[in-house]
Structure 1
Amino acid sequence: MVREIIDPIPATRVAGARPHIDRIVNVRGNVVPLADIRARFGMPAAADSPDTRFLVLEVAVGGDPVVVALVADKVFAVTEVDPADCEAVPPVGTTWRPEYIRAIVKAGDEFIIVPELEQILN
């Protein structure tokens, strides 16, 4: 669940942390891990731009709710997804590993990939 979308704020590196969750940020007085899925997927790092945002999310990790921030190159929209509109991931045609995709949703003429954040963050 998306709690909020914020402009980038200063982050502190954490020695010995996993490469894709190696920083923390202070979000409204709470220490929140900052995840960069570019690093998780082996993509090159991207410099912050005027469009860069942090998505502050509540996700289940190991069955427990955890607040985490994700670096986003750009946020176009946030929408609720009806589970009835979710389709299974096709066995071919995606560049993401299937275990990283929870579902695919058709929204008008476009498709939305719903990520499986617990798998991505672990």
Structure 2
Amino acid sequence: MAENRDKYLVFNLGDEFYGLPISKVREIIQYVHITPLHQADPSFKGVINLRGKIIPIIDMRRKFNMDEAAYGDRTVFIIVDYLGKKGVTQMGIVVDSVQEVIDIPEGSLEKSPEIGIKLKSHYLYGIARQDDKMIVIINIDRILDSEEMLTIDKEVGSGVEIESYEGTVGA
């Protein structure tokens, strides 16, 4: 009998590896200009116009209290579906680079340790071990709290003019 496996998109921030359930990933696009907005949360970089849809952009380094890094050739936005106040919507997350899609056997995610992980535990599904890597699997639906979602909804609905981007790197 075949073992059930879940697929995850692995990306990195610095030397650390993170994963997202592939079912949450809409597409991956190259870095494009972000229109900054007047926001309180430093991880909220602003918005992009992706084929006529306004997409809020969250910098994962800032969200995870990591040192900032200049955006480079490998910097990408992962456009994800997340469960917001208004139902399922989309946002982009800025990551240093995308690595691969991996299969993780169902039930093999380990609980995140109480120490050694810098992230709030509600951000996490668990830890996966693949070869010699430890991959932190994040719960994208919990990356934003209620207050952050309200701020982003307000900012995105402010009617700012945003340059459109039509291209895509992958899906």
Structures share a fold, TM > 0.5?
yes
- RMSD across aligned C-alpha pairs, in angstroms? 2.1
Alignment deviations for residues 56-93 of structure 1 (CA, whole Å, 9 cap, x no partner): 11122358212010001111113354442222112223
- Please tell me whether the aligned partners of residues 61 and 95 of structure 2 are also in contact (alpha carbons under 8 angstroms): no
Q: Distance in 2 between matches of 1:22 and 1:55?
A: 14
**How many residues are aligned here?**
122
Alignment TM-score, normalising by the size of structure 2:
0.62
Q: Equivalent of 1:34, from 52, 57, 79?
A: 57
1:51 is matched with which residue? Answer: 74
Question: Which letter maps to 1:111?
Answer: M
Matched, 1:70 2:81: no
Question: Where does the alignment leave 5 or more consecutive residues of structure 2 unmatched?
Answer: 1-23, 146-171
2:139 is matched with which residue? Answer: 116
The structure with the largest alpha-carbon Rg is 2
Q: Distance in 1 between matches of 2:75 and 2:29?
A: 9
Deviation at 1:23, TM superposition (A): 0.4
Question: Where does the alignment leave 5 or more consecutive residues of structure 1 unmatched?
Answer: none
1:94 is matched with which residue? Answer: 117
Q: Distance in 2 between matches of 1:95 and 1:87?
A: 16
- Please tell me whether the aligned partners of residues 54 and 71 of structure 1 are also in contact (alpha carbons under 8 angstroms): yes
- Please tell me whether the aligned partners of residues 64 and 118 of structure 2 are also in contact (alpha carbons under 8 angstroms): no
Flag the structure with more relative contact order, 1 or 2, with Cα contacts below 8 A and sequence separation at least 6: 2
1:11 is matched with which residue? Answer: 34
SS of residue matched to 2:78: strand
SS of residue matched to 1:118: helix
Question: Which letter maps to 1:91?
Answer: E
Q: Equivalent of 1:61, from 74, 84, 88?
A: 84
Deviation at 1:39, TM superposition (A): 1.8
Alignment TM-score, normalising by the size of structure 1:
0.84
